[in-house]
Chain A
Amino acid sequence: MKLTHLTFLLTVAVLLTARQSISAQALDISSGGPPTITGAVSGSVTGSSNVTTDLVVTINFGEVSPLNTNSIVKVVVPIAVRSNQPYQVAVSMSGLSNANVQALQSSDVGFGLQNMRLLGGAGKICTQSSHIFRSPFNNDPASSTTVLSNGRISYTSSLSNLTGSTVILSGPQLSKNNSSIRQQSDGYVFDAIFAITPQFFAAGVSSATLIFTIAAGPNVPC
């Protein structure tokens, strides 16, 4: 009987230890709320409004030829991040490689970050370090357009600024607790903003995939 108890206790302990080793990751990225789209013609954006669900967002900018008479198509994707340690968020991109320079290029998709905010009361407020949107991404691309000498629209930052895995954000610890379970309020949210100005692009359909990754970042104090 003692042996049975001992075996049982060891089994539970092993399971809990294993679970603890999983929770030790303590770096998490998820949906930060419902994404929104404005200025689109036949466009849409889908993603979860639940901040405890994985970040899986699909953006259809719709028509971006002059058939879309809106000045810009703008998509705001809230992204939640959690950590029990300093962190950094990087983005890598695949796709969007049109050989025709008059077709949609990565530089034609404005990409910026704004509005870092507490997800809720369990977010950690650090006073010795800040959460930093890395240059040049700290802007709203829909509000930072310029016209190049060739007449094409340019953004302060765009998908063309992503080379390989590019760090876009870093900072100190994000969460007060050390839970391996996503909670509604235990981190921060920021907005990833995408924008395309309808132009006389060469006709075609373009697509791209962005992977956002959170990892241990520079060791900054909280």
Chain B
Amino acid sequence: MPRSKAAHRSILIATLILLGATACFGQSTTGTVSMSATVSKFVEINSGGSVTLSGNSGGGVTTDGVANSPLAVSINLGELGPSNTNSFVTAQVPLKLRSNAAYVLSMSGTVTSSGTTSSRIVAADVGFGLGTVTRSGTGVSSGSDTNATSGDPTLGANGSVNGTTGRYEFTAVRSNLSAFSSATTILSGPIIMNAVPRSNTNGLTVPAFFAIKPQFFENGTTTVSVTFTVTAP
């Protein structure tokens, strides 16, 4: 009898273990799929299209802008001495911005000249400004942008001849490159793009104007280099 009880106990335990084991492979009527996704802030600046060069004598667009491609434009402004009788040499560079967040566009620029006197071309002689901001096309969000420049530097209100020195000066706020020795905000605004894929090529476009008034500058060569940077603060 004791042996029988022990045997029963063993069988019972084995049965319970077996049942427990089957429970481990038991069924379930529900399953779970959890998912997450991240959308980081995104901003980009590209070329908005071809450069327009006007008032030049000689020179030309060395590397033109290609719409929706990285901005890498090179321009030879040509002759800037009095032999160029145009009132201004102007380069208009279209920019295209896109973002999924509020943005800030800044610019920094340098001007280096082979000249050595105060009559050489300096940063203050290079007029700069942003033109009309355009938000249009499918997928582009409406919004109000703040242009921190004075617009087209060749406008009469943005410059004049200095009555004392006789030199033409771009006098309006942030209207010449002397204001951009370090990165300085030139445009800002709210989110640009609605939820559309990157293959949608629309965006915010704005022309960047560069202008130099031909004068009796010291002869030599001058290089102007500017960098645009867009961020999503």
Contact = CB atoms under 8 A, between A and B. Distances in A.
A200 B196 contact: yes
A212 to B, nearest CB: 4
B8 A8 contact: yes
Q: Indicate the size class of the contact surface on chain B.
A: 35 or more
Interface string A137-163: 000000000010111110000000000
Given A65-B42, A150-B139, A152-B194, A208 B4 contact: no
Contact of B36 (A27, A28, A207): A207
Q: Indicate the size class of the contact surface on chain A.
A: 35 or more
B5 A64 contact: no
Contacts of B32: 55-57, 209-212
Interface string A80-116: 0010000000000000000001111000110000000
Contacts of B44: 66
B29 A59 contact: no
Contacts of B98: 66, 200
B31 interface: yes
Contacts of A59: 33-36
B194 A151 contact: yes
Contact of A180 (B26, B197, B198): B26
Contacts, number: 209
A11 B29 contact: no
Contact of B197 (A52, A75, A79, A153): A153
A12 B27 contact: no
Given A19-B19, A150-B194, A198-B197, A207 B35 contact: yes
A22 to B, nearest CB: 7
B198 A69 contact: yes
Contacts of B30: 29, 55, 211-214
Contacts of B12: 8, 11-12
A148 B5 CA distance: 77
Contacts of A21: none
Contacts of B23: 22
A182 B24 CA distance: 9
Interface string A162-195: 0000000000000000001110000000001010
Contacts of B191: 102, 202
Contacts of B202: 151
B99 to A, nearest CB: 8
Nearest to A207: B36
A28 B33 contact: no
B118 interface: no
B15 to A, nearest CB: 6
A127 interface: no
A202 B196 contact: no
Contacts of A65: 38-42, 100
Given A152-B195, A196-B37, A12 B139 contact: no
B33 to A, nearest CB: 4
Contacts of A16: 15
B165 interface: no
Given A59-B34, A102-B194, A180-B26, A149 B138 contact: yes
A215 B100 CA distance: 43
A206 B40 CA distance: 11
Interface string B123-162: 0000000000000001101000000000000000000000
A4 B12 CA distance: 13
B200 interface: yes
Interface string B190-208: 0101111110101000000
B172 interface: no
Contacts of B34: 57-59, 207-210
Interface of B: 1, 4-5, 8, 11-12, 15-16, 19, 22-23, 25-42, 44, 98-101, 138-139, 141, 191, 193-198, 200, 202, 232
10 contacts: A19-B19, A59-B34, A62-B37, A102-B194, A109-B35, A152-B194, A182-B25, A200-B100, A200-B195, A203-B41
* A-B pairs, 5 with minimum CB distance: A55-B31, A151-B139, A151-B196, A28-B27, A200-B193
